[in-house]
Chains A and B, each alone.
Chain A
Amino acid sequence: MQSARPIRRFALAALMTTLIALLALPASVFAKDPQRTPRRLSSVGDSITEAINAEEFNPFVFITPNHWASWANGYRGFWEWLLGRTNVNSHNQRITSKYGSSSRKNYMEALSGADSFDLGPQMTASVSHAADYVTVFMGHNDVCQNNFADIPTDAEFEANVRAGFERLRTGLPNGATIYTAGIVDIYKLWQLGPQLSGALGISCEVIWATTLIGIYPCGTMLSPTNSEADRQYTRSRNAAFNAILADLVAEYDAADTHHYWEFTDLTSTTNFVPSEVSPFDCFHPSARGQKRLAAETWTAGPFGN
C-alpha cells in the first residue's frame, strides 16, 4: 500500500500537467474534427466560377458558360482535347490527381449573375451534396450592379454571408473545409479594357456600353457614363466586402470546432494581364486567367501543401 502512494501522486501530477497543457493550447488545435479528404467538391459562386466566356463565346447568347475552364470545377474530356483547350488544372483536377478518383464528386452550385443574396440557396445545395470541400467565390455581382443604389451596404452583405455560412456550419459533415476567396478587384479588370480593345478584333467600349441597356452587367464599373469617382466608389465597396469576408471566415474558423474555414485574398490582389481577361467580353477571366486563379488559390489553400 505504501508503495502505491508515490505512483498515485505521480499519476495525479501527470494528469494535472496534461490538463494544464491542454488548456494552454488554442481551442482550434485540439477541438477540430479530423479534416475530411476533399472528395466531394462543391463550388459556390457566380459567373467567374462558371468560367463565363473564358475560352468559348456564343455571340447569340453572349453569356457562355465554359465549365471545363472553371478554376474550381474545370475538367478535360474529348472536346477539350480535340479543341486544344487550356488545361486550367482546376481544384477538381488537382483533387483527383492528389487523392485519386474514387468517390469523387464535382458539384458546381455557382451560377452566373449570383450575388450574396444567393449564397443561401447555393450553400443549401452544398449541404445537400454533403460536400467535403466548399469553395466560395462570391460578391462580384454585389459590387457589379446596374445602379449604385443596388450595391448592398456592409451590413446587408455581412448578413447574407453570415446566413450562408450558418447553413454550411450547421449542415456540412464534420471535418469539411470551406475555402473562401476574395472578390476580384474588378477595377483592375476594367483598366485592361483599352489594352484589349482593337488587339483582338473587339471593342471593349462597345461591349461595356451595353450595360446602359441592361444587356451586359456591371454598370457600376463598366458603364461609359461612370466618372472615375464612380468607379473608385465601386472599388471601395469591393475592398469593404473583402474585409467582411476575411473577418467572417476568421470568426467562423475560431468558433466552429467541426469545420475548417480558410480565406485567401490572392484573388483580390491579383494584377491580371490582358491575356488573363476574356477576349470576348473584356471582363471575365480568360482560360489563362482561370488557370492562374486555380494555381494560386490551390497553392494558398487548405490542400495545396
Chain B
Amino acid sequence: MNAYAPSTERERREEKEEKKGVPARPRRHTRLLRGSSARSRPPIRRLLPAFAAFSLFAVALPTLAGDAGSGAGRGAARVPLATVNGRTIYVDEVEGALAFRIFQHELDIYSLLAAEAERRIEAEVLADAARERGLPVEALLAELEGGARGDSGSVSTVPPEEIDRYLAEHPPAPGTDPAAARERVAQYLSERGRLDRRIAGLAALREAAGARVLLAAPEPPRTDFEIGASPTRGPAAAPVEIVHFASLGSRAGARSAENLTRLFAEQPGEIRWTHVHLLGERDEAGLYAARLAVAANEAGQFWPFHDAVVVARLDPAVNFDAKRLDAIAAQVGLSARAIRDAAQGGARLAAVKADIDRANAAGIPREPGLFVNGLFVSGLLPYEELREIVRREARAASAEARRR
C-alpha cells in the first residue's frame, strides 16, 4: 500500500466513502486507550504504522508467530511495539495518546515532500520546455523574463511617474531620504516586472505539463488523552468531552475558562469538562493557584476554587496575588494549614509538574488549549467558534447514537 496515496479521483471518492462509514466522533477519547483504524486515517498518518511495520517486521517475527494463535485475527494486522513478560504491546495501544504529536511529525514529513515536489516540478517543466525549444534552461528563463535580470539598465527603464504613483500609494517610513526611497522603488518595480513575467511563464509551462502536487496534507487527529485523576465536571456519558489545559493565573486561561463556563451552562448535560494545569513562563500566580487547586481537589473543592479564581482573574479591580488566592482557598473551605502546605510542600508542586508533563506529552503547544473529543482546539478561539465546534461534536455524537 502506498502510504502517500490519494489524490486520484477514484481514491478520493473511496476515501470519502470510507469517511461516510466512519462516524464523525468514532470513539471516546479519554480514560481508555483504544486502537484506531488505519483505513480511516489520512494518508500521511498511514506512514508511521507502515514504516513501523516494515522496520519491526524482522525483529518481531518470533513475537508475531507467538501471537498468531491468540491474536484471533486482530493480532495479525497489529504492529508490535514492545514485549514485557511475554505480553506484547502494540503500536495502536499507544499511538492514540500520541496522536497530536505524531500528527505534528506527519506535517513535517508532508512539508518536506511537498516542497521537494514543487522543486522537482519546476526543474522538470523547465528542462522539458528547454529541450523542446533546443535552448539551455538559463536561456529559456531569460526568455520567460523578457530580458536581462536585475541589471541597472532595467532599473532605469521604470518610468518616473510609475515611481511617483507607487510612492504616493505607499509612503516610505518617516525620515527616509526621498532620493533613496526613489532608488529603492525603482529597483522594486523593475524587478517585480521581471519576476511577474517569470512566474507567469512558469505557470503556463506547469499548466501545459499538467503538473500538480498529488500528495494530500495530513488531517488533524483525535487524541486519546487519559484523564486520570484530573478534576472533572459534567456527566460521565456526556457526548462532548473537553480537556482544558490552562493556567489559573493567566488572563487568556481565565477567558478560555469563562467561555467554557458559558458553554457548560448553555449546553446542559452535553459537556464533560476536565481541567489540566498548564502554565506559562514565569507564571508565578498560575503556579501558586495550581498548587492551591491541587489541595482544593484533594478536599473535593476544586471547581468552587477554580470558578472563584477565574472570576477574580478577570476582574480588573481585583489584585490577583497570593493573598487573594489564599482568601479564595479559605472561602472554599481549605484550612490555613492546607493552604500553607500547598504553598510550601513539594507534593503539590510535583502534582502540577505531572499535569504539565502530560500536556507536553500530548503535544499541547501552549495554554490555554483544548481537546474537544480529542481534537485540538486553541483556547484563544472566539466563543462563537468554540461553540460551533462543540455543537458539531454533539450533533455527530447523537447521530452516532441514533445509528446504533
* Chain A residues engaging chain B, CB cutoff 8 angstroms: 55-60, 66, 68, 79, 82-85, 145-153, 156, 188, 191-192, 195-196, 198-202, 227-230, 232-233, 236, 271, 273-276, 279-280
Cβ of B78 to closest chain A Cβ, rounded Å:
28
Chain B residues near A68 (CB, 8 Å)?
A: 281
* A188 vs chain B, min Cβ distance (A): 8
Cβ of A275 and Cβ of B196 under 8 Å apart? no
B111 in the interface, Cβ–Cβ < 8 Å?
yes
**Within the complex, which residue of B166, B188, B281, B369 is in contact with A79, where a contact is CB–CB below 8 Å?**
B281
Asked if A229 contacts B196 (CB within 8 A), the reply is yes
- Given A56-B366, A149-B170, A192:B111 Cβ within 8 A: yes
In the complex, A261 Cα to B349 Cα: how many Å? 47
User: Given the complex, which residues of B lie within 8 Å of A84, measured CB to CB?
Assistant: 356-357, 360
Question: Looking across the interface, which residue of chain A has its beta carbon closest to that of B110?
Answer: A195
Give Cα A146–Cα B169 distance, bound, in whole angstroms.
13
Contacts of B324 in A (CB 8 A): none
CB distance from A235 to the nearest CB of B (A): 9
Can you name 7 A-B pairs with beta carbons within 8 Å?
Answer: A57-B366, A60-B251, A149-B188, A152-B184, A236-B150, A271-B112, A273-B111
Interface size of B in residues (CB-CB distance below 8 Å): 55
A212 to B165, CA, bound (A): 19
Nearest Cβ distance between residue B248 and chain A, in whole angstroms? 15
From the candidates B115, B176, B196, B365, name the one contacting A150 in the complex (CB within 8 A). B176
Q: Write out the residue numbers on chain A whose beta carbons fall within 8 Å of the beta carbon of B195.
A: 228-229, 232-233, 236
Residue of A nearest to B278 (CB): A83
**Other 7 A-B pairs with CB < 8 A, given A82-B279, A195-B217:** A147-B172, A148-B185, A148-B188, A151-B188, A199-B104, A228-B195, A275-B105
Contact A150 B199 (CB under 8 A): no
Q: Do the beta carbons of A200 and B170 come within 8 Å of each other?
A: no
Determine the residue in chain A with the shortest Cβ distance to B378: A201
Q: Which of A83, A85, A150, A275 contacts B108 (CB 8 A)?
A: A275
Chain B 309-328 interface mask (CB, 8 Å, partner A; 1/0)? 00000000000000000000
B173 near A202 with CB under 8 A, answer no
Give 1 or 0 for each of B153-196: 1 = CB within 8 Å of chain A CB: 00000000000001100111100100011011101100111011
Interface of A, helix, strand, loop or mixed by DSSP: loop
Inter-chain residue pair count (beta carbon < 8 A): 126
Within the complex, the shortest CB–CB distance from A110 to chain B, in Å, comes to 18
Please give, as numbers and ranges, the residues of chain B lying within 8 Å of A229 by CB-CB distance. 192-193, 195-196, 199
The 6 closest A-B pairs by CB, nearest first: A201-B378, A273-B108, A229-B195, A149-B172, A148-B188, A229-B196
Query: CB-defined interface of B367-381 with A at 8 Å, one 1/0 digit per residue?
Result: 001000000111011
Q: State the Cβ distance, B14 to closest chain A Cβ, in Å.
A: 24
Q: How far is the CB of B192 from chain A (nearest CB, A)?
A: 5
Q: Are A146 and B184 in contact (CB under 8 A)?
A: no
In the complex, which residue of chain A has the Cβ closest to the Cβ of B177? A156
The answer to whether B252 and A59 have CB atoms under 8 Å apart is yes
The answer to whether A201 and B376 touch across the interface, beta carbons within 8 angstroms, is yes
**In the complex, which residues of chain B have a beta carbon less than 8 angstroms from the beta carbon of A56?**
280-281, 366
Tell which of B181, B193, B251 touches A149, judged by Cβ atoms closer than 8 Å.
B181
Whether a CB of chain A sits under 8 angstroms from the CB of B107 is yes
Q: Which residues from B are CB-within-8-Å of A153?
A: 180, 183-184, 187
